[in-house]
């Protein structure tokens, strides 16, 4: 049974509970039966307070990507499946004083790409070149655990972020293997593969949000850099380990669920507490990893444009995590798997620099399409202030390679024209599964969010060059 709660807000009654969906009519009609089936299996977890899908929702492992699911901290549940395997995956944007015309020349952009590849490893290396950084410090202290030479503007680096440091019980680190410590050290400041990227963009400011854009330091034609990455091996190796541990515990407790890849445990259980604490360690690693990627990109811009090149962070935020938050005057565990928090002006959970305006919500598109910088609205409270995290896949990597040609991909990147979006790979075939045709129409996704009153667009980010990992 479907119930409508105003524009782009749908409520679906499933056998085990209520699912809220935020999507315009076109996107809503595109949802397949399987996502409702997965939602119902998720709603079997006892004492669920709220569950929703953003318009970019699509099939994931155990839970759809694009899910917000909420339980009380007092008697609720935590689920690694509703966090995702790339714990702490998120977005970061840095500002420059450059304008589009300053990098319109393809040769300048090629120099930038080459320089970025020099300073930011796009795949795992045999050894980190950040010898002064200690993994033990960054997973305990987040950005505060970095040596001073990597945090030139400490105040901005630790306040213009969703969280610079997550507090947790450090005794859980005793469970981490030496192999993971070593691998995590090698991956500090590395991009990773899949849908992770570094993208050079220029801005187009929304007319009705120019006041906010000005306060944030944004202007039309401004060159910015958007970064998408997560906790790399640190989070990636925790996921499978705790999926197995939770499944063993569920078997012991006699708990069954038709979704074989969906695992969960009471928040206050030994398993739940250990996972939450180690997840927070992964969140610390993730925010530092994006910070260090940005450090490398800044070096690349300095190499091309000179040592005086400034590169302030606009914001850093996550879209794969479970976080203790206060809602309805009660502490709750809010899971966001492929969902972005978007707080409105005046909300107490805003980072200090954004108390007045609300913080930037960073929404990537896909290679060849626009990304967006949004700001949360008061109505977002109905969805626990969650919005989309991107465009959302419409077909698998394998299906994309079977159905989309390299020529079609090249056309979407405007190859051969003055507006060509440059890519760091020698052949587009190597990144074909990340082409725009693999994703939903990001403009429809943004229209769904804005139409539902959850957030508004402050700036559209047009791509000019993309660096992808392997």
Query: What residues are annotated to the active site?
Result: 389
Cα angle 68-340-279, degrees, rounded to a multiple of 5:
75
Q: Centre a 10 Å sphere on the Cβ of residue 391 and count the other Cβ atoms it contains.
A: 27
Strand order of the sheet with strand 65-72?
Answer: 2-4, 9-14, 17-22, 50-58, 65-72, 330-337, 320-327
Hey, how many other C-beta atoms are within 10 angstroms of the C-beta on 280? 25
Q: Is 4 annotated as a binding residue?
A: no
Ligand-binding site membership of 389 (annotated): yes
| 196 is an annotated ligand-binding site residue | yes
Where are the alpha helices (H) located in 369-452, listed in sequence order?
397-403, 406-412, 442-451
**Residue 391 among known ligand-binding residues:** yes
Q: Is 468 annotated as a binding residue?
A: yes
58 is in an annotated binding site: no
Is position 157 annotated in a ligand binding site? no
Token pair of 388, please? 């989309």
The verdict on whether residue 271 carries a ligand-binding annotation is no
Was 469 annotated as part of a binding site?
no
CA distance 54 to 52: 7
SS3 446: helix
Was 364 annotated as part of a binding site? Answer: yes
Q: Return phi, psi of residue 236, to 5°.
A: -65, -35
Tell me: is residue 269 an annotated ligand-binding position.
no
Q: Is 195 annotated among the ligand-binding residues?
A: yes
Does residue 228 have a known ligand-binding role? yes
Flag whether 199 is marked binding: yes
Q: Is 347 annotated as a binding residue?
A: no
Distance CA 270, CA 447 (A): 43
Q: For tokens 């030994």, what's the residue?
A: 270
Has 22 been labeled as part of a binding site? no
Alpha-helix residue ranges (DSSP H) falling in 220-332: 232-253, 270-305
165 carries a ligand binding annotation: no
Relative to beta strand 17-22, strand 50-58 is parallel
Say if CB 47 and CB 437 are below 8 A apart: no
DSSP sequence for 38-98: HHHHHTTSTT--EEEEEEEEE--SSS-EEEEEEEETTT-EE-GGGT-SSTT-EEEEEEEEE
CA distances from 116 to 108, 305, 320 (A): 12, 13, 26
Judge whether 434 and 195 are in contact, CB under 8 Å: yes
Q: How far, in Å, CA of 209 to CA of 372, rounded?
A: 13
Q: Which residues are annotated as a binding site for GMP?
A: 195-199, 319-320, 364-367, 371, 389-392, 468
- Binding-site residues from annotation: 86, 195-199, 228, 319-320, 364-367, 371, 389-392, 468
Q: Which residues are annotated as a binding site for Mn(2+)?
A: 86, 196, 228, 319
């Amino acid at each position: 049974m479907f119930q409508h709660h105003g524009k782009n807000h749908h409520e679906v009654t499933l056998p085990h509970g209520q699912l809220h969906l935020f999507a315009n009519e076109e996107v809503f009609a595109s949802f397949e039966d399987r996502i409702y089936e997965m939602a119902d299996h998720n709603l079997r977890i006892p004492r669920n307070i709220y569950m929703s899908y953003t318009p970019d929702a699509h099939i994931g492992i155990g839970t759809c990507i694009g899910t917000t699911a909420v339980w009380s901290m007092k008697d609720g549940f935590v689920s690694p499946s509703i966090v995702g395997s790339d714990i702490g995956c998120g977005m970061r944007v840095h500002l420059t004083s450059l304008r589009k015309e300053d990098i319109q020349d393809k040769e300048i952009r090629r120099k930038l790409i080459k320089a970025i590849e020099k300073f930011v490893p796009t795949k795992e290396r045999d050894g980190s070149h950040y010898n002064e950084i200690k993994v033990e410090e960054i997973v305990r202290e987040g950005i505060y655990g970095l040596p001073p030479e990597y945090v030139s503007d400490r105040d901005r680096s630790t306040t213009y972020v969703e969280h610079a440091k997550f507090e947790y019980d450090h005794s859980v680190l005793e469970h981490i293997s030496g192999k993971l410590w070593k691998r995590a050290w090698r991956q500090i400041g590395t991009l990773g593969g899949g849908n992770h990227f570094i993208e050079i963009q220029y801005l187009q400011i929304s007319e009705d949000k120019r006041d906010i854009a000005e306060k944030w330091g944004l202007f039309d034609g401004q060159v910015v850099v958007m970064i998408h990455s997560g906790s790399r091996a640190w989070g990636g190796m925790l996921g499978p380990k705790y999926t197995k541990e939770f499944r063993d515990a569920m078997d012991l407790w006699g708990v069954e669920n038709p979704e074989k890849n969906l695992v969960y445990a009471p928040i206050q259980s030994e398993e739940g507490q250990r996972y939450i604490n180690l997840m927070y360690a992964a969140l610390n690693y993730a925010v530092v990893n994006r910070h260090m990627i940005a450090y490398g990109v800044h070096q690349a811009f300095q190499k091309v444009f000179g040592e005086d090149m400034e590169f302030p962070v606009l914001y850093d935020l996550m879209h794969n995590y479970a976080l203790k938050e206060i809602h309805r005057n009660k502490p709750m565990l809010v899971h966001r798997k492929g969902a972005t928090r978007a707080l409105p002006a005046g909300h107490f959970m805003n980072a200090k620099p954004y108390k007045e305006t609300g913080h930037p919500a960073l929404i990537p598109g896909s290679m060849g399409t626009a990304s967006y910088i949004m700001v949360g609205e008061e109505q977002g409270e109905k969805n626990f202030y969650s919005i989309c995290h991107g465009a959302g896949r419409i077909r698998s990597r394998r299906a994309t390679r079977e159905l989309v040609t390299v020529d079609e991909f090249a056309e979407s990147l405007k190859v051969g024209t003055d507006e060509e979006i440059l890519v760091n790979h020698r052949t587009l075939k190597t990144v074909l599964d990340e082409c725009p045709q693999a994703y939903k129409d990001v403009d429809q996704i943004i229209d769904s969010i804005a139409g539902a009153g959850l957030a508004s667009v402050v700036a559209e980010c047009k791509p000019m060059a993309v660096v992808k990992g392997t």
